[in-house]
Amino acid sequence: MSSEKGGITMTNRFVFCPECRQDVKFSVKEKTDSAKLKGEVFEFSAKTAFCDECGGEVYVPEIEDENLKALYDKYRQKHGIISLEDIRAIPEKYNIGKRPLSLLLGWGEQTFSRYYDGDMPSKQYSEILKRVLNEPSYYLELLENRKDNLKSEKAFEKSKAAIASLLNIPSVKQSKLNLVVEYLLSRCQDITHLSLQKALYYVQGFYKAFFGSFLFEEDCEAWVHGPVYRDIYRRYSGFCYNTIDSIGDPDISLMPAEEKVLLDSVIRHICCYSGKTLESFTHVETPWISIRGNLPAEASTNRVIPKQIIGEYFTSVKDKYRMLTPANIKDYAQDMFSKI
Ligand SMILES: [Zn+2]
């Protein structure tokens, strides 16, 4: 039921005329017609195709589709059912796929796709779709509350960014920690959620050592497998041991040069190791050890590793290895690797 198929493209088309018994060109005429739908009669503007040779009526599937759509549009108008155009505007508005949208709405996987293709929703479903289209804040609520329905971090992030710009709210992506995460993901081909956590910890530690302040506010906790930033863990742990896909290049136009230099050095000299290797690095470093204290190796904890301890430790590392620039992070990483 696509109206784009009508009009211009058809003027060059031939269809079979049963009268002439051959393919012919045709002309389209429009007139008011009436038809019954769900027990009611509707008047609508209907098109008919006529053979250019004999003037007899010919059958053109696209025109029949258009007529059917025109009839359904009348029904939709009368009963206040959302229009097909409005249904199709929803996935575009919120940058979400048809299937994930259906799941967010708590419907069957294919339900939204059916409406998108022309099926008419019930009044009840129609009201939901209208509300989703017209109230971005309602959609945002659905997106956040039913995030787990999506089973795709990427789909969530994409749609969240679209809605954030629609609502003109500072996106979660604009926090420094999130920007760092995006930067790492976009530049490391094979980063896992385990190695991402370690990279964040080294970024935080070395940034403080070289530039005197912490890059982000968030604290990490001394988990069994090393320091963990809890929110980031929640976001990416679903990837398990798989590589986390980048969701695209972050906007780094406002990123100061020293941040970029430090991040690039961590990417080059730290992210080249596997998550497990980096775990063994962190397990012999003071910050994690001192906060774990006497906890058994497998005991989970939410004890925070204070930023101060991380800062002091990496400042001492910088001094010990006589590092002059962030490029010297290489010396530390290689030395750690040689000792495991
Ligand atoms: Zn004909």
Distance (angstroms) between ligand 1 centre and the Cα of 53 equals 5
Residue pointed to by tokens 């896992």:
192
Distance (angstroms) between ligand 1 centre and the Cα of 57 equals 8
What CA–CA distances, in Å, run from 108 to 81, 132, 145, 149?
Answer: 20, 17, 18, 11
Between 259 and 154, the more confident residue is 259
Average pLDDT value over all residues in the chain: 91
Distance (angstroms) between ligand 1 centre and the Cα of 8 equals 21
pLDDT for position 170:
59
Distance (angstroms) between ligand 1 centre and the Cα of 47 equals 17
Distance (angstroms) between ligand 1 centre and the Cα of 19 equals 5
Distance (angstroms) between ligand 1 centre and the Cα of 3 equals 25
Distance (angstroms) between ligand 1 centre and the Cα of 33 equals 23
Distance (angstroms) between ligand 1 centre and the Cα of 63 equals 17
Distance (angstroms) between ligand 1 centre and the Cα of 17 equals 5
pLDDT for position 80:
95
Distance (angstroms) between ligand 1 centre and the Cα of 45 equals 24
DSSP calls for 281-337: HHTTSHHHHHHHTT--TT-----EE-HHHHHHHHHHHHHHTT--SGGGHHHHHHHHH
Distance (angstroms) between ligand 1 centre and the Cα of 70 equals 26
189: its two tokens:
């081909």
Distance (angstroms) between ligand 1 centre and the Cα of 34 equals 26
Q: What are phi and psi of 14, to 5 degrees?
A: -115, 145
Q: Sort residue 77 into left (φ over 0), alpha (ψ -120 to 50) or beta.
A: alpha
Kindly report, residue by residue over 58-88, the tens digit of the pLDDT.
999 999 999 999 999 999 999 999 999 999 9
What CA–CA distances, in Å, run from 121 to 67, 104, 264, 304?
Answer: 19, 17, 51, 51
3-state helix, strand, coil in the chain (%, to 5): 55, 10, 30
Alpha helix stretches (DSSP H) within 57-152: 61-79, 84-93, 98-104, 111-116, 123-134, 136-145, 147-150
Between 4 and 210, the more confident residue is 210
Residue 53 CB burial class (10 angstroms; 0-12, 13-18, ≥19): middle
pLDDT-above-90 percentage for the chain: 77
Distance (angstroms) between ligand 1 centre and the Cα of 7 equals 20
Q: Which of 4, 64, 56, 5 is nearest to 33 (CA)?
A: 64
Distance (angstroms) between ligand 1 centre and the Cα of 12 equals 16
Kindly report, residue by residue over 273-323, the tens digit of the pLDDT.
999 999 999 999 999 999 999 999 999 999 999 999 999 999 999 999 999
pLDDT of 250 higher than 80: yes
- Counted residue by residue, the chain has a size of 340
Distance (angstroms) between ligand 1 centre and the Cα of 29 equals 16
Query: Would you tell me how many other CB atoms lie within 10 Å of the CB of residue 144?
Result: 11
In one-letter notation, the amino acid at residue 111 is: T
Distance (angstroms) between ligand 1 centre and the Cα of 46 equals 21
- Quick one: DSSP state of residue 238? G
Distance (angstroms) between ligand 1 centre and the Cα of 59 equals 11
Distance (angstroms) between ligand 1 centre and the Cα of 66 equals 22
Distance (angstroms) between ligand 1 centre and the Cα of 116 equals 36
Distance (angstroms) between ligand 1 centre and the Cα of 9 equals 20
Query: Would you tell me how many other CB atoms lie within 10 Å of the CB of residue 278?
Result: 26
pTM recorded for the entire structure? 0.52
Distance (angstroms) between ligand 1 centre and the Cα of 6 equals 20
Distance (angstroms) between ligand 1 centre and the Cα of 49 equals 11
Distance (angstroms) between ligand 1 centre and the Cα of 48 equals 14
Kindly report, residue by residue over 170-200, the tens digit of the pLDDT.
554 468 998 999 999 999 888 998 999 999 9
pLDDT of 7 higher than 60: no
- Domains of the chain, each with CATH number or no CATH: 3-79 (3.10.20), 84-172 (no CATH), 176-339 (no CATH)
Distance (angstroms) between ligand 1 centre and the Cα of 283 equals 85
pLDDT of 11 higher than 80: no
Kindly report, residue by residue over 115-142, the tens digit of the pLDDT.
999 999 999 999 999 999 999 989 999 9
Distance (angstroms) between ligand 1 centre and the Cα of 201 equals 77
